[in-house]
Amino acid sequence: MDTEFAQVNGHDVTTITCVCGNTVSDEGLIQANSQGIPVHAGGDTPVPDGLAEWPDDEDLYTLCPSCGRVYRDGVIEETGTAPVAFRVDVTAGPVAAAIRIHWDLDTETEL
């Protein structure tokens, strides 16, 4: 299977244009962990139910909440390309729940 690539400028994960066409300024992109679960970026505040903790190893991924494609930040920063790492189901299950929680809390999006 051929790997799909998102467009990205200058090794910057915030400039991704997802394979589906979504961008940060369109439907937004969400920082996620290696399972595609959106992570809590709220600093010292407790992690809300349903969100993942910020990974200790800083191994972050970028989730497109529109189509469920997930990109690995480290690969983008290192290579300047954005291959799709994996896909998750954004319509059901823990990822869908976490996306809703993420947007509910969305006062200080880091991306």
User: In the complex, which residues of this chain contact Zn ion (CB under 5 A)?
Assistant: 18, 20, 22, 64, 66-67, 69
Q: Smallest gap, in angstroms, from Cβ of residue 22 to Zn ion?
A: 4
In the complex with Zn ion, the residue whose CB is nearer, 23 or 34, is 23
In the complex with Zn ion, the residue whose CB is nearer, 69 or 102, is 69
Bridge-partner residues for 6, per DSSP? 82
CA dihedral 12, 91, 109, 106 (to 10 degrees): 170
In the complex with Zn ion, the residue whose CB is nearer, 21 or 48, is 21
Q: Smallest gap, in angstroms, from Cβ of residue 47 to Zn ion?
A: 25
Tokens of 48: 């809300």
Q: Smallest gap, in angstroms, from Cβ of residue 95 to Zn ion?
A: 13
In terms of C-beta density within 10 A (0-12 exposed, 13-18 middle, 19 or more buried), how is residue 1 classed? exposed
